Amino acid sequence: MIQIQHLSKSFGAKQVLSDISISFDKGKVYGIVGENGAGKTTLFRCIAGLEEYEGTISADRVPLKNHLGLLLTEPFFFSKITGAEYIRLLCNARGTKLTDIESRNVFDLPLNQYASTYSTGMQKKLAITAILLQGNDYFILDEPFNGVDIQSNIIIEEIIHKLRELNKAVIISSHIFSTLSDTCDEIHLLSHGTFTRSVLKEDFQALESEMKSATLGGKIDRLGLV
């Protein structure tokens, strides 16, 4: 379990997260939604320990970061490192012994080519593969479906279901609501640095409708399209 209490974070005068308290249990999948700049990535970076913050973040496995698989929105790759080497690098960092990478290459990636030459979607799939093979207990997946083809989306969704079965805690952010409603147990709406709504599976559709009407609110009509 990851327990967050009174988490606040600001960059200079700009308050990005404000007094957030939430817990993420094992065996559950959590969706975090919110508009651009709502604070999702900052929240994830705080949980991972990549940012300093006020408040407390605790977990049943310490230090949390050593058991956390973090998928960044835009994973960073070195220019001359192959897919297989990238996976080995991440597993080495966690002291995970790795055997037979090729048979675990569920996305059929060209692992012997430079990762920097991969498309955006392929890079994301490579990063997901690597954090899965690290053997983590918690997962933060920041936009895992972005730029990924439909077939791989199906695989990622199945992987998330499998992680839940394996009693892992998974936190996902996505701008594609349908992927969250298919995979999550709870969805939390982050707005201006604080959680404004938290809903369980049965209320996902209502939340989506609410978000739609709040977001649109006649904006399209203002374009005056004819």
Partner 1 sequence: MAAAQPVKEYFQLQYRMMNRQFQDLGIQPVLAYLFLFVGFVAVSTYLFYKTELAQYIYLLSAVSLISGLSETRRNDFLKLCFGDGKLKRLRLAENFIVAFPFLLVLLLKVQLLSALTLTVIAALFAVVNFRTSINLVIPTPFYRKPFEFTTGFRNTFYLIFIAYALTIIAVAVGNFNLGMFALLLVFAVTLTYYTQPEHQYYVWMHNLSPKMFLFRKIKTAVLHSAYLVLPIAITLGIYSPESIDVLLLFLLMGWAFLVCRVIIKYAAYPDTLTIPQGILLALCFGFPPLLLAVIPYLFSKSENRLSNLLK
Phi (first) and psi of residue 158, to 5 degrees: -65, -40
Interface with partner 1 in residues 120-159 (CB under 8 A):
none
Per CB under 8 A, the list member of 56, 112, 119, 167 interacting with partner 1 is 112
Interface with partner 1 in residues 12-71 (CB under 8 A):
48-50, 52, 63, 65-66, 70
99 lines the binding site for partner 1 (CB under 8 A):
no
CB of 118 to partner 1, least distance (A): 13
Helix axes 120-133, 83-93, angle to 10 degrees: 30
| Residue closer to partner 1, measured from CB, 78 or 214 | 78
CB of 26 to partner 1, least distance (A): 19
Give every CB contact of residue 27 below 8 A, 6+ residues apart in sequence.
164, 167, 168, 169
Q: From 29-37, 89-97, 167-175, 203-211, give the range in contact with partner 1 by CB under 8 A.
A: 89-97
| Residue closer to partner 1, measured from CB, 60 or 203 | 60
d(CA 55, CA 21): 9
CB of 80 to partner 1, least distance (A): 4
72 lines the binding site for partner 1 (CB under 8 A):
yes
d(CA 193, CA 222): 28
115 lines the binding site for partner 1 (CB under 8 A):
no
Q: Which residue has the tokens 């004819």?
A: 226
Give the interface with partner 1 as residue ranges (CB under 8 A).
48-50, 52, 63, 65-66, 70, 72, 75-76, 78-82, 85-86, 88-90, 92-95, 112-114
